[in-house]
């Protein structure tokens, strides 16, 4: 185990001398002023059903798909307490638990209840690209990259970032943004209070947020189409140059900026614009209660 203090000066020769020692004396009575850190490493075989479920209550979770046959977990356990002894004790008591049931592998972080607000675990999980991943976090960001399989990610208070994933994605967060880049498949994204951004996506999109911007850039559109909705925020959709789609744009309080040539275009006084791109067929439905819509 490696132990260090929150504000220890590495250049200070003695813990009790100089500015570093003075600062430590001031912090010694402040709750959670001391910090301890330790790491665990775990190697696992993929489960029979090729599914892993990860649950991390406090801390960052990063999943990286690689050309490998096993699962490698690197857990950084971080604890804070009033004294170095208590911080070290908490770090030792934090556990990363694994279990297999019904052919599905579960990975769960367990922090003792009395220490819950003072400990966290940052997980780096390297998996075979084809492994299906389900990950949830209460307080911490989620990052997933390099997968060639389906992904489900849920975070209560933390950013969700997805990069280079080929497969269907379901992502939800309560109080943070969602970003996806270089993805392929069907993306379903939900956020209560945060923006949703997709860049260089190939496939279909169903995205909704209560408060925030939605921005989507498509390289290729699948037949399921695009549905974007926000209560308070703008929507920006950038489409490929050649596309066949039925377009339906709605704004309650705001403006519609259409930069594409629509056939059979109709505009209602209530804030609705409909028309056809190319031969039509694929649905594109965008709606916002308070904000603007830009179709490019």
Taking only the tens place, the pLDDT of each residue in 55-105 is 998 899 999 999 999 999 999 999 888 888 888 888 888 899 999 999 999
List Cα–Cα distances, 111 to 58, 82, 89, 91, 161, in angstroms: 9, 17, 12, 9, 25
Structure tokens at 53: 């479920």
Main-chain phi, psi angles of 273, to 5 degrees:
-125, 130
16 has a pLDDT exceeding 60: no
* Tokens standing for residue 252: 């309650």
Q: Which residues, at least 6 apart from 267, have a Cβ–Cβ distance to it below 8 Å?
A: 273, 274
pLDDT tens digit sequence for 89-145: 888 888 999 999 999 999 999 988 665 457 889 999 999 999 999 999 988 899 999
Residue 163: predicted pLDDT = 97
């Amino acid at each position: 185990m490696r132990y260090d203090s929150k504000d220890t000066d590495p250049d200070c020769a003695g813990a009790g001398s100089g500015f570093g020692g003075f600062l430590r004396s001031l912090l010694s009575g402040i709750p959670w002023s001391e910090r301890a850190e330790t790491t665990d490493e775990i190697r696992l075989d993929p489960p029979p059903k090729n599914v892993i479920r990860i649950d991390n209550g406090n801390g960052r979770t990063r999943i990286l798909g690689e050309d490998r046959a096993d699962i490698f977990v690197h857990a950084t356990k971080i604890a804070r307490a009033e004294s170095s002894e208590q911080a070290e004790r908490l770090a030792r008591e934090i556990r990363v638990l694994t279990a297999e049931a019904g052919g599905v592998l579960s990975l769960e972080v367990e922090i003792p209840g009395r220490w819950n607000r003072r400990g966290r675990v940052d997980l780096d999980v390297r998996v075979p690209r084809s492994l299906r991943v389900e990950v949830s976090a209460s307080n911490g960001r989620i990052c997933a990259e390099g997968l060639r399989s389906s992904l489900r990610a849920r975070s209560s208070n933390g950013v969700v970032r997805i990069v280079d994933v080929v497969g269907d994605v379901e992502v939800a967060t309560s109080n943070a943004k969602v970003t996806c880049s270089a993805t392929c498949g069907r993306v379903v994204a939900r956020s209560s209070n945060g923006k949703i951004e997709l860049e260089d996506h190939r496939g279909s999109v169903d995205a909704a947020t209560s408060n925030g911007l939605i921005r989507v850039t498509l390289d290729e559109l699948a037949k399921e189409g695009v549905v974007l909705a926000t209560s308070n925020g703008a929507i920006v959709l950038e489409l490929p140059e050649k596309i066949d789609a039925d377009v339906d744009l709605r704004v309650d309080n705001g403006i519609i900026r259409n930069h594409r040539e629509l056939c059979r275009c109709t505009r209602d006084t209530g804030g609705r614009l409909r028309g056809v791109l190319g031969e039509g067929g694929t649905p594109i439905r965008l709606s916002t209660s308070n904000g603007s819509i830009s179709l490019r």
